[in-house]
Amino acid sequence: MTSILNKLAFHNSFSSLDDVFFSWVKPQGLWGVRLAHANPEAAQLIGLSQQDLETDEFLQIFSGNQVPAAFAPLAMAYSGHQFGVYNPQLGDGRGLLLAEARPANSESAAPFWDIHLKGAGRTPYSRFGDGRAVLRSSIREYLGSEALFHLGVPSTRALALFASKEPVQRETEETGALLVRMSQSHVRFGSFEFFHYTRQPEKVKQLADYVIDKHHPDLPDDDSRYPLFLQRVVLATAELIAHWQTIGFTHGVMNTDNMSIIGETFDYGPYGFLDDYIPNFVCNHSDHQGRYAYDQQPGIGLWNLNALAHGLSTLIDTDDIKHALSLYEPHIRDCFATKTRAKLGLTTEEEDDVVLATGWLQLLQDERADYTRSYRALSHFSLTGDNSALRDQFVDRDSLDQWLLLYSKRLEREGSVDENRRSLMCANNPKYILRNYLAQKAIEAAEQDNDFSEVDRLLTLLKKPYDEQPEFEAYAAAPPESAKGLELSCSS
Ligand code: AMP
Ligand code: MG
């Protein structure tokens, strides 16, 4: 049988940078490692098939047991602001960039994908950590990243999840796991901060050129590229966070080392989707101040961009930085407004739409209504027919009826047709999201019984979050009261 390596083409671009950018690290495999789940859709991006994922070769190579010559495993150097405080010493403490690959038969413009292995042991950046990842958090990242991607939100992807028998000590003893993550870049805001604060402006420049050449090849080849690059990061970040807000996603740890330079959702820790609409929802149980609460995310995005801009201040002058950052607020507002109009089924723009949208959200907040279910129920609103299914979801029907009156008038003004609006709205208001209690059930089955069938089921269903899937109806139900708004710990 031919090696699966023959199906891949490699170009390990990050490893060709100076060695201050990373440390070479050999992955340390796990005792009793086995494939728990693999994702054929992500595999396809690098030209691997379902059969390839089931081979022993895939297990050995992608779990870090064997390092083929074409790989160049390394841990990246970075720092960053954690909860507002600068931490000069971060870096990949338990993650390795194994290689950058694409299908062997690719067209020349096809992107290379970072193959990143999380949980493969200590690195020079591990500080006091063990370099491991536990099964629970690996399952959460595996499912969360795919859920967001299929909701249409930029995200890293998940290729494979490996379980093991290796004990890993957290609050209690757990078992180690490995996650293979894919992205076109693992450069973070904090990567720039590291070289800025260690006073290596030439390295800041080298890193900026690396990212620009790879991701923004259309930018000019002179110093004007740097402010333009910052503008693009500002816009991409604004768009990403507008996306999070519209689907009710809370990242949980928006430290600058968890902010992707290409604007993807990155590093899934104690994230959470809103159940009830509680704007100041905090999913991270260690976030006592609510710094990363759901409704703080837009502001934190700008804070983080400020930190990035500071890291780039040897390349970009102050006026250009101010200008780039000034693009953030109008852009996130516009993106949010556009997405909210689609969620409300509006195809035209009126000045008062923001009042209409705010009224709806206020209603959800007053009712503590389920964010996802309410929008989905509204998608089935009829201008002429029966709306009892929607009304049944609300206690304060008078307030709902008042708002529906305004909404109906607004819909009539644009000649909205029930059927057309319903398809627009159902394509923008997911029926299925990865609620914490659903992830929790999958984790328990995996931890207790080595049973990954629930992981598989969730992945299947979350691939089509906007479709009706009658066989999965129960997964669209409101969570049991006891399982709402779970907070999760950072320890992973
Ligand atoms: P995170 O909160 O997962 O984004 O991680 C923050 C920093 O801590 C990063 O530098 C990680 O590499 C490092 N880190 C987290 N967990 C571990 C661990 N178990 N062993 C070593 N380093 C870790
Ligand atoms: Mg991180």
Mean pLDDT for 255-275 is 97
Q: Return the ligand 1 atom nearest residue 78 CA.
A: 10
Quick check: CB of 479 below 6 Å from ligand 1? no
Quick check: CB of 126 below 6 Å from ligand 1? yes
Cα 127–Cα 131–Cα 132 angle in degrees, nearest 5: 145
Catalytic residue among 52, 92, 257, 275: 257
Cα 328–Cα 357–Cα 360 angle in degrees, nearest 5: 135
Tens-digit pLDDT profile for residues 83-111:
999 999 999 999 999 999 999 999 988 99
Quick check: CB of 82 below 6 Å from ligand 1? no
Q: Which phi and psi angles does 148 have, rounded to 5°?
A: -65, -45
Q: Return the ligand 1 atom nearest residue 492 CA.
A: 16
Quick check: CB of 267 below 6 Å from ligand 1? yes
237-257: string of b/e by CB count within 10 Å (b at 16+)?
bbbbbbbbbbbbbbbbbbbbb
- Ligand 1 centre to CA of 127 (Å) is 9
- Ligand 2 centre to CA of 280 (Å) is 23
Tens-digit pLDDT profile for residues 342-357:
999 999 999 999 999 9
User: What local confidence, expressed as pLDDT, does residue 488 receive?
Assistant: 80
User: What local confidence, expressed as pLDDT, does residue 1 receive?
Assistant: 66
**What sign for the dihedral angle of Cα 11, 17, 22, 25?**
positive
Q: Hey, whose CA ends up nearest to atom 7 of ligand 1?
A: 90
CA gyration radius, the chain: 23
Measured distance CA(97)–CA(114) in Å, rounded: 7
- Ligand 2 centre to CA of 304 (Å) is 14
User: What local confidence, expressed as pLDDT, does residue 130 receive?
Assistant: 97
Q: What is the pTM of this model?
A: 0.97
Q: Which two tokens stand for residue 410?
A: 């607004």
Mean pLDDT for 437-458 is 97
Q: Is 366 among the residues known to form the active site? A: no
Place of tokens 């644009």: 414
Give the DSSP letter of residue 123.
Answer: -
The model's confidence at residue 57, banded by pLDDT at 50, 70 and 90, is: very high
The model's confidence at residue 400, banded by pLDDT at 50, 70 and 90, is: very high
User: What local confidence, expressed as pLDDT, does residue 321 receive?
Assistant: 98
Q: Which helix (DSSP H) or strand (DSSP E) does residue 22 occupy?
A: strand 22-24
Quick check: CB of 176 below 6 Å from ligand 1? no
From 126, 137, 186, the mutation candidate for ligand 1 (largest count of ligand atoms within 8 A of CB) is: 126
